[in-house]
Each structure stands twice: as structure tokens, then as C-alpha cells.
Amino acid sequence: MAPEAGMMLGGGAAVCTAALGQRVVGERVAGPERWGGGHSACRRVPSCAGLLTSQVARIQGGRVAEFDKAICEYIDASYHDGVGGDSATGVRWWILFICRGLGEDARRVLGPDASLDAKLREELVVLRFVCWLVEVRGVTPETARKYVSTVQAWHERRFGIKLAGGLKMARLPAMLKGMVRKQGGRRPRKLRKGVRPRMLRRAMAQEIGGATAWEANWVACCTTGFCGLLRAAEMALGPGKRWAEATCLTRADVTFHKRGKRRWAVLMMRPCKNDKVEQGKRVPLLLPAGGRYLDAYEALRRLFERDPVPESEAAGTPLFRDPATGAAFTTRHVRAVVKTLMASVGEDPALFGAHSLRIGGATAALAKGVPPVVIRAMGRWSSDIYEVYCRATEESVLRFGVAIGSADFVDLEGEYHHQEF
């Protein structure tokens, strides 16, 4: 056994392989005297030594570095975002606060054997992070608590140790409770207003058009988001997320159908965030033609005409993208476009966001008499009733879809949000 082969495995392993080598060599030397030079047992022993030597040599040839890289990739893959949880909102705020705000390392390596004073100093860093979230970023104490919990889990899985060396951080819940009391109870939920079908159509006609490939992508994105009750993260990439065929919608997920006078598109949806029952099962979302104000079928058909993709590349192409770069739209882009569209028709853009398409679609469905349980199923708000949508008749689902694109309504919250009752 070569000495350098043992060194690759560490000092203890070097001793073991050296001892094994001596034993093997010893048997090889003693063998001819005891058994005769041609005995088969004498030939088998050195072949085992040669096999072990070749295996260790392969590790020595760079496999250790490969293993280290694979370990990181496997840990990253255990998170839903595929990047080790780095894209979680709380984690992103933590990294921003620690790295840019304090100029320190986001990895807080403090072992459980550290002194109490050291742990309390680390706890103080977490408390300052919470103050920054609530006082500067404007989040609620409850949201700040969830962010800390997310960071705690992320830090332990990423670096193998909890924040503050595993200290209970008893001051944190006390501070959060005090924040709620000083604010006079829980803050009212920030209003996100839903768009209306006629309003969205007028805004897109004014600001986007739809003639070019880029415009067709945006019209299809907004229209499908509304009629399909899509989450922002379903039609675009969230912050820090990587586009992947396995988790993102692609051009291959859309098919067009026709039966008699009825026409519709089918969008095969990826598992939703509330998927606890379907266990990763993909479910078809039907988008019929014929909406009075918004028609997702026609918007998708124009998208495929104006921004065509070879069939062989469809599975690797984002459903909604920038044709110039091929990059998928992001939720930040969607939010900016929705705000611009609403401002163009005289609405306050501060009241709208990427989620306004989903809110508007659900409100339109309710205004048209679609049963609430079906709306919840169509919007994938609860996986345990998703079978309501899956088992509904094709005719009823298509009828509901047309109704969503044809609704004209005034929602009370959106209309009277600035008035006191």
C-alpha cells in the first residue's frame, strides 16, 4: 500500500492501511515458503491489496472535492427552493441586515459550549434584527417572529448549529409581546386590491398592446394569472429562485383543445404550496375561450403565435419570458407591471401588487355565482378540496372559466377601503 494513499484518509486511516499493507505483504512473503509459490491462496491475497489501492487512489484523484460539492447540492435540494432556503424572505432579510447593516458574517458560529455572555451577545443581534424588521421594514411582530423561526431553521440546517449557540432566547417572545401592546394590538392587514376584468383589459390595451413577442408574453401572463387564479410564484420566479423545469411552468405544459364550438386551453399545474393530499400530482387547469373582457385561451394562443418555440425546446422554455433573453419573468417584474397598468387607468398603484390578479380573479368568480368551495379548489387554496375541482364536469369548469373573464363588479373592500364604518 502506497503511503500517500493512506494519508488521503487521515492519520488514523494511514495507520490502518499501512498495517493492512504489512499484513498482506507478510503473507505474500511467507506464502511461497509455506504453501509453495504457485498456490492459489498466495495469488488471491495481493489481488485484494491491489483493489484497495486502486479505490483509495480514485479518492486521492479528486473524489473528495466531488463529495464535498455533492453534499452541498444534496442539502440545497432538501429545501423547496433548491438553493438551501436562501430565497426565503426571512433569510434574505437576515443576510441583508447582518452583512450590509452590521458588516458581519451571516453565519453565526457559536458552539453550545460558548460562555453565557457570548450567547447573550448573539441573542442581542437577533433582537436587533427583529427591531429592524418591525421599525424599519414595517412588518408586524407576528411576521417578525415567523422570520426568526425561518432563520433559525435555516441556520441550523446550513451550518449545523442554532443561533446564539442554542440559547433559548427567552427575551425574544417578551419583546414581541411588548411590541404588540405598544402598537395597540395587531396592525390591520395591508390591503391588496384586486383588479377587475374590464379595468385590466383597458389598461393592457393602452400600455401593452400585444403585437410583439414581448407584449404577447405580458398579455398572456396577466390574463392567465387573472383567469387561472394563479399565485405570483406560479407564473413567475420568486426572489432568489432558480428556474427549473421540474418546478416551473413551461411551454410544454399548455395544450389547446376544441370540441364543436367550444375551445379551451389546458395548463398542467405544478404541485401547489398547500399540497398535502395530492402529493405532487399535477392537475389540469382549464382556461376556456369566450370571456367578455379577458380570454386566457386567446391570450395563450397569440403568445404561441408571436413567440414560437420549437417543440423540442418547449419543456425547457419558461411559459412567460423575455423573448430577447429567454429568461423567465420574476414576481418583481409582475408586481411592477400590475402597478403600472393600474396607474394608467387612474388607480392608486400602492394598492396593487402581483397578487392582485389572483384576488381579482377570485372576486370575479364569486360575483358570477361560482360556489366558494369551487373557487377555493380552482385557486388551490386548500389541497384537501382540490378533488372538488378535479371531479367537476368539464362543462361546468369551462362555464366557470368564461364567467371569471366576463364579470363586472365593484368589491366593497376595494371601493370603500379609505372610509371608516
Q: Kindly report the number of other CB atoms within 10 A of residue 283's CB atom.
A: 19
- State how far the Cα of 82 lies from the Cα of 77, in Å rounded to an integer: 5
Name the helix (H) or strand (E) containing 288: strand 283-288
Which pLDDT score, from 0 to 100, does residue 153 have?
Answer: 86
Query: Are the beta carbons of 357 and 225 closer than 8 angstroms?
Result: yes
C-alpha cell at 246: 421540474
Which pLDDT score, from 0 to 100, does residue 106 have?
Answer: 82
CA atoms within 13 A on the CB side of 43: 5
Name the helix (H) or strand (E) containing 147: helix 141-159
Strands (E), 12-98: none
Which pLDDT score, from 0 to 100, does residue 256 have?
Answer: 96
- State how far the Cα of 326 lies from the Cα of 151, in Å rounded to an integer: 33
* Amino acid at site 391: R
Query: Are the beta carbons of 89 and 143 closer than 8 angstroms?
Result: no
- State how far the Cα of 172 lies from the Cα of 123, in Å rounded to an integer: 8
C-alpha cell at 97: 441586515
Alpha-carbon dihedral sign for residues 374, 380, 385, 389? positive
* Amino acid at site 207: E
Query: Are the beta carbons of 389 and 376 closer than 8 angstroms?
Result: no
Among 176, 165, 161, which Cα is nearest to 130's? Answer: 176
Exposed/middle/buried for residue 249 (C-beta within 10 Å: 0-12, 13-18, 19+) = buried
Which pLDDT score, from 0 to 100, does residue 129 have?
Answer: 93
Domain range 197-413, its CATH number among 3.30.930.10, 2.40.160.10, 1.10.510.10, 1.10.443.10: 1.10.443.10
Divide the 421 residues of the chain into consecutive groups of 10 and give the mean pLDDT of each group: 39 36 37 40 43 54 72 69 67 89 82 83 91 89 90 84 83 90 67 87 91 94 94 87 85 94 90 51 85 94 96 95 94 94 92 91 86 78 53 66 76 48 30
Among 358, 384, 357, which Cα is nearest to 373's? Answer: 384
- Angstrom distances, CA of residue 410 to CA of 29, 100, 344, 414, 418: 96, 44, 19, 8, 15
Among 262, 255, 269, 263, which Cα is nearest to 304's? Answer: 255
Which pLDDT score, from 0 to 100, does residue 298 have?
Answer: 96
Exposed/middle/buried for residue 294 (C-beta within 10 Å: 0-12, 13-18, 19+) = buried
Place of cell 429568461: 327
Domain limits, the chain:
3-77, 89-182, 197-413
